[in-house]
Amino acid sequence: MPTVADQFVEVLVEAGVRRIYGIVGDSLNPIVDAVRRTDGIEWVHVRHEESAAFAAAAEAQLTGGLAVCAGSCGPGNLHLINGLFDAHRSGAPVLALASQIPSAQIGTGFFQETHPERMFNECSHLCEVLSQPEQMPRLLRSALQTAAGSRGVSVLVLPGDVAQRTAVNPVRQGTVHCQPPTVVPPESQLRELARALNSAERVMLFCGAGTRHAHDEVMRLAETVKSPVGHALRGKEWIQYDNPYDVGMSGLLGYGACHEAMHRADLVVLLGTDFPYDDFLPQANTVQVDIEPAHLARRTVLDVAVQGDVAETIRAVLPHLDTKTDRSFLDQMLREHADTLERVVDAYTRDVDKRVPIHPEYVTDVLDDLADEDAVFTVDTGMCNVWSARYVTPNGRRRMLGSFIHGSMANALPHAIGAQLADGNRQVVAMSGDGGLSMLLGELLTLRTLQLPVKVVLFNNSSLGMVKLEMLVDGMPDFGTDHDPVDFAALVSALGMYSVRVRRPEEVRVALRDALSHPGPAVVDVVTDPNALSIPPHITGSQVKGFALAVSRTVLAGGVGKMVRLARSNLRNIPKP
């Protein structure tokens, strides 16, 4: 007779789940054994449960489908929590199985006893205890559908002894719908949006992750209202390419004229973004379009709030818009964007291929040249976010995954594991900092065991660069941010994997090219300059003062990479007088 564990795995396979990330052990053993005996699903052994959740989050974001991770009772499932927060806040449909101690022992202070149903509430849409065989398969299907439909995490707590019991109800055929809905706003909201757009002389569009699949519609709207187009970090991959209206990015990692355009506009249109840094927003003359009603008005006051899918909303409002003829604001912002990038590009490129220690900007720029046109980049939180945001060129096919909302360290390598397993034929590059890599260093063993052809480009500056910058801007001398140099290439070689250590800039291109062409996992350990920092395009006077008190070195503002060429090419769109 099938057990609850058998039934659990059968429902997962039926829902399209192809793997479970985790570490085997005690209360999970019935599930693991059911996986062993079931075709169409595999157990992916990682070295830390946090990595299991990160890997599942990356798989779900890349495929759009459900992904699953699991942790054994007590410490095992508690290790999941950081990766689950990342998945939940990123909108990744993930099911987490938190196995539990024997059900008869719950509440007695038993060995490894915790209460996952309490612990995981904040990072899930659904968190329930599966305590009786009679709850299957309905409760599991409900958890899967909640994760898929609400785009986030569901957690099921399952005692090991319950997993071993005989199943009671038949599985029957069931379906889990993973395709997110499209939402068209009501006519009243569309009329208000059209009125606001028609009334404004200077419109600026600011785009986030919700513009995925809406690139063409955003371009048509920008042309209609003659608007510069900026983006948040999560909007970069969807909106920056093939964009003749691009004025860069705002926020802590921003560059270009995005901030200026936003603050000079008569009307700022937030499209599919829950941009968290309200100090960068004008806090006036703003409308917002978002499919999530909870996002509306929680970062800024709004003149008009529109609940709807970005692409559908733009299609619906375009027939009601007057085509503007005055390009003066758009053209001015395009010129300022190009000029801003020109002013800083020389500092990033002048003799950079000869400077030691190696500039991380140069490494990323070369990586951008060599990586595949459909590569997946996974990016560690910190300065790697800066270099990827400014030097990896989007094209509509590349993907960039990171802990962009939760902001966890150490995400790049486990994200890369999930991304590579999701698509074994696609190039996956982890841009890791030495601080992040060392935190989950054991996952290099996962690459070796599974022979995943992930390429790890390690920015090894023996420093926590972003933390150093935070201290300096606050007027504090940096303290506790630097650590002993480590030869990670030697460590990787000892693990039996391809590695190379790069100390001089003339070695960068060959090292990256060879690693990217290597058939298995590879690590390029690049010794980079710990003083290559970056400040946002707009900081307060007190922050400038604090920075001057703390440091006298030059800090480069705004990074550009190939974007200066894009900005200059966009100026050709400006009509000659």
Across the range 386-396, mean pLDDT stands at 91
305 against 570, higher pLDDT: 305
Q: Are 319 and 190 in contact (CB under 8 A)?
A: no
Average pLDDT value for residue range 130-158: 97
What's the CATH architecture for 187-326?
3-Layer(aba) Sandwich (3.40)
- The predicted-structure confidence for 22-81, as pLDDT tens digits, reads as follows 999 989 999 999 999 999 999 999 999 999 999 999 999 999 999 999 999 999 999 999
4-164 belongs to CATH 3.40.50.970: yes
- Of residues 418 and 475, more confidence is placed in 418
Q: How confident is the model at residue 557 (pLDDT cuts 50, 70, 90)?
A: very low
Q: Per DSSP, which regions of 209-334 are E strands?
A: 229-231, 246-249, 267-271, 286-290, 304-307
Between 536 and 526, the more confident residue is 526
In whole angstroms, what is the distance from residue 80 CA to residue 407 CA?
A: 16
Q: Where are the domains of the chain?
A: 4-164, 187-326, 357-463+480-532
b vs e for 144-154, b when ≥16 Cβ sit within 10 Å of the residue's Cβ?
A: bbbbbbbbbbb
Question: Mean of the per-residue pLDDT values for the chain?
Answer: 91
- pLDDT of residue 552 exceeding 50, the answer is no
Can you tell me the mean pLDDT for 424-452?
A: 97
Would the pLDDT of 301 be above 70? yes
pLDDT exceeds 70 at position 170: yes
pTM given for the model: 0.92
Residue 554 has pLDDT above 50, yes or no: no
493-505 mean pLDDT = 97
Q: Please provide the DSSP assignment of 104-136 as one string.
A: GGTTTT-TT---HHHHTGGG-SEEEE--SGGGT
The dihedral sign for the CA sequence 477, 483, 484, 486:
negative
CATH fold match for the domains 187-326 and 357-463+480-532: yes
pLDDT tens column, 1-22? 899 999 999 999 999 999 999 9
Residue type, 396: G
User: How does residue 99 score in pLDDT terms, banded at 50, 70 and 90?
Assistant: very high
**Which pLDDT band holds residue 182 (cuts at 50, 70, 90)?**
confident
How is the beta sheet containing 203-207 ordered, strand by strand? 246-249, 229-231, 203-207, 267-271, 286-290, 304-307
- Domain formed by 357-463+480-532, architecture: 3-Layer(aba) Sandwich (3.40)
